[in-house]
Amino acid sequence: MITIEKFETKVGTLTVAWKGERVCVAGFDEQWPALERALARRFGAYDAREAKTSKSANIRAYLDGDIAAIDDVAVDLGGTPFQRAVWDALRHIPAGETTTYGELARALGNARAVRAVGRANAMNPASVVVPCHRVIGKSGALTGYAGGVARKRWLLDHERSSSSLHC
């Protein structure tokens, strides 16, 4: 059983799909059709119900300024072992900080895997919860983000301003 929760944020409507107590996909409106197809590929014909409780309380808290709140959100994202390693590494980038695809590849033990890291990052099924927005280009430019570059900029600014409030 998949539970769906949809709610408004300062940067658009976010939909989160839960399998039990674990996020299996999360994304903004324009991402949802692709995420829904990913759910169908992974679970076949799945039974989805609207959440009766606010399972997404930690995600909402993060978006409201408690930037550490997403650290404890459990995930069940599927993916290949390599994708899961990249997605896990994304969750270890401190809020308000950024890294590059090359730095992430080196941290995973294969400096030549930059493109593979970029592809796994792009395939992240749970944006915001698995903070792929913290990865930028080698030049420091904000590169693509499934939720849009403007939203990526907002998330990074949000984390930086919220983390400065907690120093």
Q: Note the Cα 82 to chain centre separation in Å.
A: 16
Task: Single out the catalytic residue among 11, 105, 132, 136.
Answer: 132
**Residue 104 tokens, joined:** 């992430």
- Cα separation, 34 vs 3, in Å, equals 17
- Work out the angle at residue 27's Cα, subtended by the Cα atoms of residues 166 and 83, and round it to the nearest 5 degrees: 90
- Cα separation, 8 vs 160, in Å, equals 22
Q: Are strands 2-9 and 12-19 parallel, antiparallel or unpaired?
A: antiparallel
Q: Is 24 a catalytic residue?
A: no
The residues assigned a catalytic role are: 132
